[in-house]
């Protein structure tokens, strides 16, 4: 319950970070001429693991977008981990 409470408070930040990731992913996908599935896969993998190397951007703007997606992913995962730790640390409320 504490997790959902914390997530509701920080949802605007989390959604903005996700929006940035997917917007930059679409930009990179269009520039690199990837399919929608490849673009989503690239964005997800780059944001969560800093990439497997399956899809490698070749243009400067795409590479720059990949760097920002990676940094954004680190911030997003750190934020989610912090929310989870805080929720686990919160004592249960008496009802």
45-67 pLDDT, tens per residue? 999 888 788 899 999 999 999 99
Asked if the structure places residue 31 within a domain, the reply is yes
Query: How far, rounded to the nearest angstrom, does the alpha carbon of residue 40 sit from its chain's CA centroid?
Result: 11
Percent of the chain at pLDDT above 90?
60
Asked if the structure places residue 41 within a domain, the reply is yes
Residue 85: give the domain boundaries. 2-89
- What is the pLDDT, as a whole number, of residue 47? 92
Looking at residue 44, which CATH number applies to its domain?
1.10.287
Residues near 60 by Cβ (< 8 Å), separated by ≥ 6? none
Q: Is the pTM above the cut of 0.85?
A: no
Asked if the structure places residue 95 within a domain, the reply is no
Neighbour-count burial of 18, counting CB atoms closer than 10 A to its CB (0-12 exposed, 13-18 middle, 19+ buried) = middle
Asked if the structure places residue 54 within a domain, the reply is yes
Asked if the structure places residue 62 within a domain, the reply is yes
Number of domain units in the chain: 1
Asked if the structure places residue 94 within a domain, the reply is no
């Amino acid at each position: 319950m504490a997790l959902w409470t914390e997530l509701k408070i920080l949802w605007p930040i989390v959604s903005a970070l996700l929006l940035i990731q997917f917007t930059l992913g679409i930009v990179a996908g269009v520039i690199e001429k990837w399919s929608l599935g490849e673009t989503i896969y690239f964005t997800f993998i780059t944001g969560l693991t800093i990439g497997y190397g399956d899809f490698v951007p070749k243009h400067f703007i795409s590479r720059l977008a990949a760097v920002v997606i990676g940094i954004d992913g680190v911030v997003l995962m750190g934020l989610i981990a912090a929310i989870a730790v805080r929720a686990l640390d919160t004592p249960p409320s008496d009802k």
